[in-house]
Amino acid sequence: MPPTLATPRLSLQPLTERDVDAFHALALQPGVRRFLFDNRLIGRAEAEAMLSASRASFDSDGYGLWGLREGADTSLRGWAGLWTFGNGPELSYAL
């Protein structure tokens, strides 16, 4: 698993199973689901599967989704990274 990337204002950590509830809550936001999920409400199980796939992608391909956290605050503020959509990896992000 890749290391945490950190600056005084932002830290990026690969998303893990412990992030599933916060990831799911962000994915349900209207502005996020509109663009990333075709306005579909995803279930918690789908969010779990996405994080599992991201972790596997880090292990096999060296890329996946990074959780974004602000400063010393440990709550998930968003995510960014490469995600495989049909034709190969593409940039995916949500704030």
Chain segment 32-78, per-residue pLDDT in tens: 999 999 999 999 999 999 999 999 999 999 999 999 999 888 899 99
Q: What is the mean pLDDT of residues 77-94?
A: 92
Tokens standing for residue 82 = 């490469």
pLDDT for 65 equals 97
Query: How confident is the model at residue 1, as a pLDDT?
Result: 67
Instruction: State how far Cα 82 lies from the chain centre.
Output: 9
To the nearest whole number, what is the mean pLDDT of the chain?
A: 93
Q: Which residues contact 80 (CB under 8 A, 6 or more apart)?
A: 12, 65, 66, 68, 91, 92, 93, 94
The predicted pLDDT at position 87 comes to 84
Average pLDDT over residues 7-23: 94
